[in-house]
Amino acid sequence: MQVFDSIPPLKDHLHGIKSFGKRLGFVPTMGFLHEGHLSLIRASLERSDHTVVSIFVNPAQFAPHEDFADYPRDMGRDLGLLEREGVDTVFAPPGDALYPEAYATYVEVHELQNRLCGRSRPVFFRGVCTIVLKLLHIVSPHVAFFGQKDAQQAIIIRRMVKDLDLDVEIEVCPIVRDHNGLALSSRNSYFDLEQRRAALCLFRGLSRARTRIDAGERNAERLKQEIRAVIEAEPKARIDYVEIVDTSFLLPKSVVESGDLIAAAVYIDRIRLIDNIIV
């Protein structure tokens, strides 16, 4: 496994790999890896000849009051996991490699970035799109892997790739959950035992909706009320949003159809978590 912290030698290295006709897979991460990340890496290892993983906590997607400084980091542990999985190349740059002094260019996907999570995190998707576009340009992979847990992010990235005619395939892999159903996230490390127990209300609410849909319910408002009722029964939980939307424009649905996205964001005390299901 080769590790790079600057752009020119990484690009030279990957150009050499691609010159031999190798299919390049890419998994962008912010580190503090868990089984969700590893599932994406394993998908790349299976579907590519050479797998690149980036580790970079992107300051552009954090608002000033958010947890950039406290976001969990453990580079030594992450590199050990990546080597054990058989990753070929790691890109782990310092902040000024990607955002040098006087940096002034950002990428936005209008409308989509303002819905769901974008309402409470207005700078988030601008930061995500900017860093993903930069990384796709630097790595120039044939295929890049993202997780379904970040469903809105995946939809926005696919739109950006389509709109900008980028020559990369975007693969979205299933959510990985713990044995209780909690979607894995690096921020889960913030939870104490009581908060982790409380956090399960989100998955229980989504599961209630799935059960009602399986029983024939198609009214979106009634389904959202069912989800809210489950979450609101947890004293530590505060709902950010519960929405049922299409997966093209993230517009609200009144009648639920196959392929629609049921997405929710909840605060457990001050810790925000997201989850979703596809109908």
> pLDDT exceeding 70 applies to what percent of the chain?
100
Domain 186-278 matching CATH 3.40.640.10: the answer reads: no
- Clarify whether 37 is annotated catalytic: yes
Q: What is the C-alpha to C-alpha distance for residues 44 and 103, in angstroms, rounded to an integer?
A: 31
Average pLDDT over residues 46-70: 97
pLDDT band at 134, cuts 50/70/90? very high
Average pLDDT over residues 45-58: 98
pLDDT at 197: 98
pLDDT, tens digit, 9 for 90 and up, residues 28-43: 999 999 999 999 999 9
Average pLDDT over residues 74-102: 98
Query: Can you spell out the DSSP letters for 52-106?
Result: EEEE---GGGS-TTSSTTTS---HHHHHHHHHHHT--EEE---HHHHS-TT----
pLDDT, tens digit, 9 for 90 and up, residues 12-28: 999 999 999 999 999 99
pLDDT at 117: 98
Tokens of 63: 């608002």
> pLDDT exceeding 90 applies to what percent of the chain?
100
Average pLDDT over residues 48-61: 98
CATH code, residues 2-173: 3.40.50.620
pLDDT at 203: 98
Q: Where are the domains of the chain?
A: 2-173, 186-278
**Mean of the per-residue pLDDT values of the chain:** 97
Q: Of 13, 34, 37, 179, which is the active-site residue?
A: 37
Average pLDDT over residues 46-69: 97
Average pLDDT over residues 59-73: 96
Quickly list H helices, the chain.
7-19, 35-47, 75-85, 95-98, 117-120, 124-139, 151-163, 193-214, 220-232
Contact (Cβ atoms closer than 8 angstroms) between residue 131 and residue 61: yes
pLDDT at 83: 98
pLDDT, tens digit, 9 for 90 and up, residues 185-242: 999 999 999 999 999 999 999 999 999 999 999 999 999 999 999 999 999 999 999 9
pLDDT at 51: 98
pLDDT at 116: 98
pLDDT at 65: 93
